[in-house]
Amino acid sequence: MSLTFIDLFAGVGGFRLGMEQAGHKCLGYVEIDKFARKSYEAIHNTEGEWTAHDITTVTNDDLRLLRGTIDVICGGFPCQAFSIAGKRLGFAETRGTLFFEIARFAKEIQPQYLFLENVKGLLNHEGGNTFRTILSTLDELGYDAEWQVLNSKDFGVPQNRERVFIVGHSRRHSRREVFPVRRSCETPSIEIIGTVAPETAKGTNSRQWVHSVDGIVGALGAGDYKQPKQVLVKGMLDIKGKDQIRRVYGTEGISPCLTTMQGGGKEPKILDDQGRRNKEHKLHSICPTLRAQTHGNEPKVVYVKEATKRGYTEAQIGDSINFSVPNSKTRRGRVGKGIAQTLDTACNQATIENKPPYRIRKLTPRECWRLQGFPDWAFDKAREVNSDSQLYKQAGNSVTVPVIYEIAKRLV
H/E element holding 100? helix 99-109
Where on the phi/psi map is residue 340: left (φ > 0), alpha (ψ -120 to 50), or beta?
beta
Catalytically active residues, by annotation? 79
Where on the phi/psi map is residue 109: left (φ > 0), alpha (ψ -120 to 50), or beta?
alpha
* CA trace torsion 352, 354, 356, 359 (10° rounding): -20
Q: Give the Cα separation of 167 and 71 in Å (integer).
A: 13
Spell out the long-range contacts of 60-65 with Cβ–Cβ below 8 A and sequence spacing 24 or more: 60/104, 60/108, 63/104, 63/105, 63/108, 63/109, 64/108, 64/109
Q: Give the Cα separation of 47 and 7 in Å (integer).
A: 15
Q: Give the Cα separation of 299 and 357 in Å (integer).
A: 17
Pick from 298, 400, 387, 306: nearest CA to 352: 306
Q: Give the Cα separation of 197 and 209 in Å (integer).
A: 8
